Amino acid sequence: MNSKNKIELNSVTKRLPKHLLKFIVKQPYEEYTAQNQAVWRYVMRLNIDYLKNTAHSYYLDGIEKTGISVDSIPKMEGMNRILKEIGWAAVAVDGFIPPNAFMEFQAYNVLVIASDIRTLEHIEYTPAPDIIHEAAGHAPIIANPEYAEYLRRFGEIGSKAISSDKDYEMYEAVRHLSIVKEDPNTSENEIEKATEVVNNLQNNMGELSEMAQIRNLHWWTVEYGLIGELENPKIYGAGLLSSIGESKTCLKEEVKKIPYSIKAAQQNFDITKPQPQLFVTPNFAHLSYVLEKFANTMAVRKGGLKGIQKLIVSKNIGTIELSTGLQISGVFTNVISNENKPIYIQTTGETALASRDKELIGHGVIYHKEGFGSPIGKLEGINLAIEDMSPKDLEVYGIYEGLNTELFFEGGVKVSGQIITGVRDLQGKIMLISFKNCTVTYGDEVLFKPEWGIYDMAVGKDVVSAFSGPASSESFEDIYEVPSEKTHKINYSKNELKLHSFYAEIRKMRETEELDLARIETIFNEVVNNFNNEWLLFLEMYELTHKNEGSFSEVVLKQLEELKQEDKNKKLIEDGLKLLS
């Protein structure tokens, strides 16, 4: 990576595991056009003017505390210098990233910021994540310590949520829709097709996975949350804070307000439309209460047969933790059960064993490259579990090095072979027993043959936890895939580049306070002749000239009044003019 594209890590981002670093991109600051800067400034000025009375009180304080300028798109480096004072950081990414990865960034106190910015055509709202949504929506509220801790815990819990294969389909479909919808060169037909795919998936998700439910909770709080009294709530959700359209309509009576509870996990949302209902939390502490309540329903805290079955459905890397603390990470493909309890588990392909989130020496994916299988539970007819046996007990029951033994497990799994070694935890409790010349059977089914090599048997009477991803982040190189479809870079025509240069000239005059009225008039005439729908540039010209004597500002105002005849522009122009009155 050359120095131009080098990404600077700070004390917060240096803690990120390697598998997350591949999502970070260099913020393309030099690619922002003067029109992009004007879009940022318009939205920020409008939002601050409106939200000072309707947003949570921390919003305006947070704008200042997180180093966000009203007049210019923020630079990531500048934001980070200020964010680290509150223990957070920001990184740029390319659009939507996989949900588990997004959550994991959050768990490390890192705000993921999509570095692109919405086009003028989508100034009110865009389904694509952009820097207005991320920086001006998410960042200010994390200045509140209670909310920041909720966000971190949400990331910690959400990154463990188990997905279904449909969740990944949905993620890819939403990402594709957001990319094509924000590209002005996309045909209407292509947008319609992408929208149809998302709608079909939304209507056919089946039973909601943990990740789908966590995503719902995230949407109704972090993105579209209201706070305070049900009759008169304030806005704190980033989706509302960054949408100049929906931030106003969301407080109207026709949008139903519901007290926030765990039921929100079952309420799906449609990213392509305004939300017909919103949830109101009385305070930020209540968000954490609901989150913990939901976490208690997740496999990460319940484990058991259902937890393993969720991992099998996910078809992705997941982890189960046994009662001994042994953690098995891989793609789970089979579980044998008896009386609603798992009695044998099986992974396929690269697998790693760990304890306390640290890979066991010699038990990484190179050693377990073909998969891993093991009985779970107690031995038949023996009340004392292997993990609870003292060295004397182990000897009595024929579990010691060098002995040819047969172990009969409850439910019918049998392990026969010569014990060669074992692995114990720091307290001396046995977690793993290795055999040679080993055969493992379940009834007539052979689960392991001696010619397959050494058999490593996990020790554990129960599966106490099951969660998405590996126990040790060092075990697998590719936990998440970087999306192959990249956000489209807009190729501007010569005409469009000329238009952007006019925006740049007007911007420079405003910043330097050196007005050249003759030049503004020349630019105005050229824009009228070639870009006569460019209402935002006319608005910026009017801002510079309306306090000056002379009739030219009236000419600009007349042009704006004409553009107001179009319904699409009317509200945007009216709101912009109000800022100047």
User: pLDDT tens across 426-451, in order?
Assistant: 888 899 999 999 999 999 999 999 99
Residue 226: beta bridge partners?
Answer: 235, 280
Tokens of 205: 């998700």
Task: Answer for the pair 85, 145: CB distance below 8 angstroms, yes or no.
Answer: no
Q: Tell me which residue of 228, 217, 224, 221 sits closest to 56, measured CA to CA.
A: 228
Residue 556 reports pLDDT greater than 70: yes
Confidence at 566, pLDDT banded by 50, 70, 90: confident
From CA 297, how far away is CA 34, in angstroms rounded? 49
- What number is the average pLDDT over the span 395-407? 93
From CA 438, how far away is CA 455, in angstroms rounded? 6
Residue 338: beta bridge partners?
Answer: 341
What does the buried/exposed string (b/e) look like for 291-303 if buried means 16 or more CB atoms within 10 Å of the residue's CB?
Answer: beebbeebbbbbb
Pairing of strands 277-281, 226-228: parallel
Confidence at 502, pLDDT banded by 50, 70, 90: very high
From CA 449, how far away is CA 94, in angstroms rounded? 47
Q: Tell me which residue of 441, 437, 431, 440 sits closest to 454, measured CA to CA.
A: 437
Task: Answer for the pair 159, 297: CB distance below 8 angstroms, yes or no.
Answer: no
> What angle in degrees, to the nearest 10, is found between the helix axes of 567-580 and 552-563?
140
- What number is the average pLDDT over the span 337-359? 97
> Phi/psi of residue 408, each to 5°?
-105, 120
Q: What per-residue confidence (pLDDT) applies to 313?
A: 94
- What number is the average pLDDT over the span 337-350? 97
Specify the higher pLDDT residue, 538 or 2: 538
* Model confidence pLDDT, tens digit, residues 40-78: 999 999 988 888 889 998 898 888 888 788 999 998 888
What does the buried/exposed string (b/e) look like for 415-430 if buried means 16 or more CB atoms within 10 Å of the residue's CB?
Answer: bbbebbebbeeeeebb
- What number is the average pLDDT over the span 229-252? 90
Specify the higher pLDDT residue, 128 or 358: 358
Q: What per-residue confidence (pLDDT) applies to 442?
A: 97
Residue 1 reports pLDDT greater than 50: no
Task: Answer for the pair 338, 363: CB distance below 8 angstroms, yes or no.
Answer: no
Going by C-beta distance under 8 Å and a sequence separation of 6 or more, which residues neighbour residue 424? 430, 431
Q: Tell me which residue of 34, 39, 238 sits closest to 122, measured CA to CA.
A: 39
What does the buried/exposed string (b/e) look like for 150-166 if buried means 16 or more CB atoms within 10 Å of the residue's CB?
Answer: bbbbbbbbbbbbbbbeb
Residue 316 reports pLDDT greater than 50: yes
H or E element that contains 330: strand 326-338
Average model confidence (pLDDT) across the chain: 92
Specify the higher pLDDT residue, 494 or 203: 494
| HSE-CB for 549 with a 13 A CA cutoff | 0
The one-character DSSP state at 132 is I
From CA 197, how far away is CA 131, in angstroms rounded? 26
- What number is the average pLDDT over the span 408-422? 96
Question: For the chain, how are helix, strand and coil distributed in percent, rounded to 5?
Answer: 45, 20, 35
Residues in the chain: 581
Going by C-beta distance under 8 Å and a sequence separation of 6 or more, which residues neighbour residue 377? 341, 342, 343, 409, 410, 411, 461, 462
- Integer distance in angstroms from the first to the last C-alpha of the chain? 50
Question: How many beta carbons lie within 10 A of that of residue 474, not counting itself?
Answer: 16
**Percentage of the chain lying above the pLDDT 90 cut:** 66
Residue 6 reports pLDDT greater than 70: no
From CA 161, how far away is CA 547, in angstroms rounded? 57
